[in-house]
Amino acid sequence: MKHFFILFSFLAFVSCQNDKKEFQPVPAEKTTNEVTQEHEGKKLMETHCYLCHSPNAGENEGRIAPPMVAIKARYIDKEGYNKEEFIAAVTSFVKNPTEDKTLMYGAVKKHGLMPKQVFPEGSIEKIADFMYDYQIEAPEWFKAHWEGHGNKNWQQSGKPYKVAEKEKTYSDIGLEYALGTKKVLGKNLMESIQKKGTLEALAFCNQQAIPLTDSMATKYSATIKRVSDKNRNPKNKANKEELLYISQFKKELAEKKEIKPVVIEKGNQVHFYYPIETNTMCLQCHGKQIKPEVQKQILKLYPSDLAVGYGENEVRGIWSITFEKK
């Protein structure tokens, strides 16, 4: 069941070329110039990858996939892939992740193979482009970890990345609140599945999901809800306005468009909406074929459950967040 352990994230184990390459390290480029406009690949990586590939998780605790810098180190710094090869390898793997394609053998053994997912057209290439050209966030422990596996004097390739500071938009703020809450819920849920199994994960959702969401709402001084047109918990039922945005996001996802948050300003308040998408792990409790013992527990905890019958990469609901204008 290892392949269920990785959520909302990708690019952990990138496609491998069959021919061997002579190692040609890519030197880091030094510059003090600021990037005048934020690279789109950076934001896409933070949005789609960091839940599982967080640069802030510990080396052995709280980690469900290798950090993104480990992928870069393996394929670019060690194997010497050029930019064209790296982007092609990333794109190939994400479209069809299999164990025989990866060089990340230790990560596969430890965390399992990432689930197949669908991403907005062109987003994978933009993420790989950013990873190749610029230095990305690396955990404090990574250099010692990498050199401890026989790799000497590791220095990340690429240019330093420092974007000129700009004032956050309401979309930026809402996305920060949504992704911050998603990380807390996702980390706790996946640790529960890994350590105790799916039935215990159901108990976690039943008892802790709303309190944890409320605690993040307090932290951000906002109202944060996860709502659905097919809710499991009655408290997560979408209202009339929220149903309209769920329908809109479903249409955009089906058309493989890049989904952008919806921001509505009403007086002194901002209303923010962003989709919650399914992946392989979600389907253990929300899919079309749920194990009998899991289905029994779901109905015990949620007698009026509607949140089943989903496939991969579908909109299961949305983040509905309200906060005061800054």
- DSSP one-letter string for 148-182: TTT--S----BB---BPP-PPPHHHHHHHHHHHHH
| Mean of pLDDT values over 241-248 | 97
Please say if the pLDDT value at position 215 is more than 80. yes
Residue 308 corresponds to which amino acid? V
Give me the pLDDT at residue 239, please: 97
The residue among 233 and 106 whose pLDDT is bigger is 233
Split at pLDDT 50, 70, 90, the class of 37 is low
- Indicate the pTM of the whole model: 0.68
- Mean pLDDT for 274-278 is 93
Residue 164 has pLDDT above 70, yes or no: no
For 137-153, how does the pLDDT look when each residue is reduced to its tens digit (9 = 90+)? 999 999 999 988 888 88
Q: Write out the two tokens for 124.
A: 């994978």
pLDDT in tens, 74-117: 999 888 999 999 999 988 888 788 888 887 888 878 877 787 77
Asked if residues 250 and 228 have their Cβ atoms less than 8 Å apart, the reply is no
pLDDT winner (highest mean) among 43-47, 142-146, 256-260, 268-272:
268-272
pLDDT of residue 36: 52
pLDDT of residue 125: 95
Report the pLDDT value the prediction gives residue 198, as an integer from 0 to 100: 84
Q: Is the pLDDT of residue 71 over 50?
A: yes
Rank 58-67, 96-105, 249-258, 315-324 by mean pLDDT and report only the highest.
315-324
**What pLDDT was estimated at residue 9?**
38
Contacts of 24 (CB under 8 A, 6+ apart): 80
Instruction: Write phi, then psi, for 87 (nearest 5 degrees).
Output: -60, -40
More confident residue, 26 or 224: 224
Q: Which of 3-17, 113-127, 161-175 has the lowest mean pLDDT?
A: 3-17
Least confident of 117-121, 206-210, 214-218, 313-317: 117-121
Coil, helix or strand for 306?
Answer: coil
Cβ neighbours for 207, distance < 8 A, ≥ 6 positions apart: none
The confidence band for 30, taking pLDDT boundaries of 50, 70 and 90, is very low
- From start to end of the chain, where are the E strands? 222-227, 262-266, 269-277, 315-324
